[in-house]
């Protein structure tokens, strides 16, 4: 059993001759999964990412940030700390403190930077398990999940989203993507969407007129997953 098997249903059937069946959740999922924010270059993405973290943190809402590697998590945590926002790092280098960090990741004002694998499958409780704090965090919108990139496997993206909005809790998720990200360069998405460098995110009409990055990326990721 896994909550993210549906994205790989074709793969399970082709390789293992197994069908995937979705079981309704115990409570309705009210998490809001926002459209990806697409930027023309990495510097613009990082700038927007830092602005988003600072503005959300100022409200007291807890934030979980998913990164691609230990190196990226360390670099981003350093940049966040330099901006005056205290944060915790959850990666393979500090697994002894993993339970303690996760226990506090849903507290008011918490900012947690994590790799894809760290803490996967663990329930991050709003307010850190404190009922009074949980009500405060819920009113703030719940846990806010930010992805700094998209992965080859949609299941990994879904696993990050799934840290928020569990058991009917409120929450939000959003991915920040750059046309210079390694995966998009490898898939040739930058050739599908040609745009001059700009600091603002690409507008949705532009994406639609450029063959839609989401459809192209979805097809490419599904193709890679099936081949592997």
Distances (CA, A) of 110 to 53, 124, 197: 11, 12, 33
pLDDT at 117: 59
pLDDT at 147: 94
Q: Write down the residue that tokens 């990226």 correspond to.
A: 72
First-to-final CA distance of the chain: 21
Give which of 88, 62, 89 is closest to 143, Cα–Cα. 62
What is d(CA 127, CA 177) in angstroms, rounded to the nearest whole number?
Answer: 29
| Residue 54: how many other CB atoms lie within 10 Å | 14
User: How many residues are listed for the chain in this entry?
Assistant: 228
pLDDT at 10: 85
| SS3 (DSSP) at 173 | strand
What is d(CA 161, CA 149) in angstroms, rounded to the nearest whole number?
Answer: 12
What is d(CA 223, CA 58) in angstroms, rounded to the nearest whole number?
Answer: 41
Over its C-alpha atoms, the chain yields an Rg (Å, rounded) of: 18
| Residue 90: how many other CB atoms lie within 10 Å | 28
pLDDT at 54: 96
pLDDT at 191: 74
Query: How confident is the model over 13-30, as pLDDT tens digits?
Result: 899 999 999 888 889 999
Query: How confident is the model over 99-136, as pLDDT tens digits?
Result: 788 888 999 999 999 887 555 556 789 999 899 999 99
What is d(CA 94, CA 115) in angstroms, rounded to the nearest whole number?
Answer: 11
Query: Do the beta carbons of residue 146 and residue 174 sit within 8 Å?
Result: yes
pTM: 0.85
pLDDT at 93: 64
| Residue 204: how many other CB atoms lie within 10 Å | 11
Q: How does pLDDT run along the chain (228 residues), one tens digit per residue?
A: 777 788 778 888 899 999 999 888 889 999 999 988 989 999 999 999 999 999 999 999 999 999 988 899 999 999 999 999 999 988 766 566 777 888 889 999 999 998 875 555 567 899 998 999 999 999 999 999 999 998 877 788 888 898 899 889 999 999 999 989 988 888 777 777 777 788 898 876 555 444 445 555 554 554 444 444
| SS3 (DSSP) at 182 | helix
């Amino acid at each position: 059993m896994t909550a993210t098997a549906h994205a790989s249903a074709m793969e399970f059937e082709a390789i293992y001759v197994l069908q995937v069946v979705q079981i309704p959740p115990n409570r309705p999922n009210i998490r809001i999964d926002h459209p990806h924010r697409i930027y023309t270059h990495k510097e613009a993405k990082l700038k927007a990412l830092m602005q988003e973290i600072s503005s959300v943190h100022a409200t007291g809402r807890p934030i979980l940030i998913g990164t691609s590697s230990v190196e990226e998590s360390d670099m981003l945590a350093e940049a966040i700390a330099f901006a005056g926002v205290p944060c915790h790092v959850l990666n393979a280098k500090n697994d002894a403190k993993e339970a303690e960090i996760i226990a506090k990741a849903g507290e008011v004002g918490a900012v947690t930077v994590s790799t894809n694998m760290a803490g996967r499958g663990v329930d991050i409780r709003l307010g850190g398990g404190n009922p009074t704090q949980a009500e405060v965090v819920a009113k703030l919108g719940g846990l806010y999940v930010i992805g700094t990139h998209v992965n080859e496997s949609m299941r990994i993206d879904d696993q990050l989203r799934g840290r928020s909005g569990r058991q009917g809790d409120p929450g939000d998720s959003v991915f920040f993507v750059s046309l210079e990200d390694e995966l998009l360069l490898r898939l040739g998405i930058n050739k599908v969407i040609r745009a001059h460098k700009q600091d603002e995110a690409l507008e949705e009409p532009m994406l639609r007129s450029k063959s839609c990055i989401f459809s192209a990326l979805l097809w490419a990721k599904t193709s890679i997953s099936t081949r592997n």
